[in-house]
Amino acid sequence: MAAPLTLLLVVAVTIRAALYRSSLAEVIAERVEVVSPITAWKRVIEGLALLDLGVSPYSGDVFHETPLVIYLFHFLVDYAEITFMLADVISAIALYLAVKEYNKQVVRKKQKFALEADRYPQDCLELIRSPKEMLYIPLKVAMFYLLNPFTILSCVAKSTCGLNNAVISLFILTTIKGNALLSAVFLCLATYQSIYPLTLCAPAMLYLMQRQYIPVNYRRASFWWFVVQYLFMYLGSLFVLICLSFFLLGSWDYLPSVYGFILSVPDLTPNIGLFWYFFAEMFEHFRLFFLCVFQINVFFYTVPLSIKLKDHPVFLMFMQLAVISIFKSYPTVGDIALYMALLPVWSHLHRFLRNIFLVSCVLLACSVLFPVLWHLWIYAGSANSNFYYAITLLFNVAQILLVSDYFYAFLRREHHLIHGLYLKKKDGSEATLVLK
């Protein structure tokens, strides 16, 4: 399988290199859908210039990336293009390996065990996945990530979102490989970069516990011992990172400028998220309240999802990534690309998906309409912000439908695996499952 992957990497890098050389790169780097105030390359350059002048990069209100990123580019600024391409390649390979490992576990451990134990009902055999079908899934995941136009745009715009995605992919890989320490370190790096991956703590712990056969039970000491261990590693490395940043810069400037910026959403530049329009329209005295509501919204889904999906931590991880990229304060298309890359992993759910046609049409149409309505609003002056926000809203509704559809399909497949594929009502007639 190495040959197709190599070919894929070569193709992906060629596309990116060609786009870097074309005049499109400048246009793409300006698009609000692709870069956010945090991830924009232009702002990183500004931060670097300030740093070179001996001024704190966070003085002024331009630069909002973390200190580690600016020191990374302090050395790599001349090789920025290569860095971003490398980040994409690393993400793709990490996802490829992670999915390969995950599939192996699904087939070898769970399914085989269940089959041997004769746990599945007889009519469910067509739901069981054969290794042959799953052969190409890792490659598809890498392809979905590397050839997704969203990823390509994000990489060509040199959005630092590519680096975040690489870190999160590495986190997924190390978690699935079962390395608790590295998993905690990468999760902490991801959190350090953008706060929101904090919620990935839950699936990571659930997965690692499952792997080490620790029962998820509040009364067991082993459960609490593992949680404390993991959190210690996580918080410890977070502490190290934060202190490291402090020593690099010599001040705490960056805390309000990065995390305050993410949490209090002062920059209302339009983007594909839900925050900007809402907070631009709102009366000032409601701002704090709704800010809390919107931010809690991102984190809150962790609780119900973790309870419902505690036996399926990898799917939970996918759900969490999607929720973050939909509800975060400055989303870009690069964030969406990461969870979309994982869609092929759930290709066995396709027979239970209900709205996939509608949703993909809407997502496609919206992605094309973004630049059109932006043009009408900003350049032609004939449309206004409502047009653009309407599309943003539609885009996010479509994403939510997509994710909830996958969620429903997953639960339904699990239900069928326990109760049989052809459900009967009490009186013997055929029953259908209805979600209400």
Q: At what angle do helices 2-21 and 149-156 cross, to 10 degrees?
A: 50
**Does residue 418 touch other proteins according to CB under 8 A?**
no
- What CA–CA distance (Å, rounded) separates 205 from 184? 9
Here the tokens at position 201 are 């703590």
Using the minimum distance from each CB to other proteins, give the nearer residue, 136 or 246: 136
- Tokens 């590693």 identify what position? 233
**Does residue 372 touch other proteins according to CB under 8 A?**
yes
Q: Given candidates 53, 117, 307, 435, which one binds other proteins under the rule CB under 8 A?
A: 435
**Does residue 337 touch other proteins according to CB under 8 A?**
no
Q: Given candidates 26, 133, 281, 311, which one binds other proteins under the rule CB under 8 A?
A: 133
In the window 157-176, what residues touch other proteins (CB under 8 A)?
Answer: none
**Does residue 375 touch other proteins according to CB under 8 A?**
yes
**Does residue 30 touch other proteins according to CB under 8 A?**
no
DSSP state of 381: -
- Which residues have a Cβ under 8 Å from the Cβ of 355 and sit 6 or more positions away? 401, 402, 405
- Which residues have a Cβ under 8 Å from the Cβ of 153 and sit 6 or more positions away? 28, 31, 33, 34, 333, 334
- First-last CA distance in the chain: 44
Q: Given candidates 383, 390, 394, 397, which one binds other proteins under the rule CB under 8 A?
A: 383
Q: Given candidates 235, 364, 393, 418, which one binds other proteins under the rule CB under 8 A?
A: 364
Q: Given candidates 2, 3, 53, 434, which one binds other proteins under the rule CB under 8 A?
A: 434
Helix (H, G, I), strand (E, B) or coil at 430: strand
- Tokens 């919204």 identify what position? 297
**Does residue 125 touch other proteins according to CB under 8 A?**
no
- What CA–CA distance (Å, rounded) separates 174 from 166? 12
Could you tell me if 319 and 305 are in contact, meaning their C-beta atoms sit under 8 angstroms apart?
Answer: yes
Q: Given candidates 21, 112, 287, 354, which one binds other proteins under the rule CB under 8 A?
A: 354
- Tokens 């055929």 identify what position? 430
Q: Given candidates 357, 427, 428, 429, which one binds other proteins under the rule CB under 8 A?
A: 357
Q: Given candidates 77, 401, 417, 421, which one binds other proteins under the rule CB under 8 A?
A: 401
**Does residue 425 touch other proteins according to CB under 8 A?**
no
Using the minimum distance from each CB to other proteins, give the nearer residue, 242 or 365: 365
Here the tokens at position 208 are 């690692």
Using the minimum distance from each CB to other proteins, give the nearer residue, 122 or 382: 382
**Does residue 368 touch other proteins according to CB under 8 A?**
yes
- What CA–CA distance (Å, rounded) separates 98 from 101? 5
Q: Given candidates 361, 393, 418, 423, which one binds other proteins under the rule CB under 8 A?
A: 361
- What CA–CA distance (Å, rounded) separates 201 from 238? 13
Judged by the rule CB under 8 A, the positions of this chain that interact with other proteins are: 130, 132-133, 136, 354-355, 357, 361, 364-365, 368-369, 372-373, 375-376, 379-383, 401, 408, 432-436
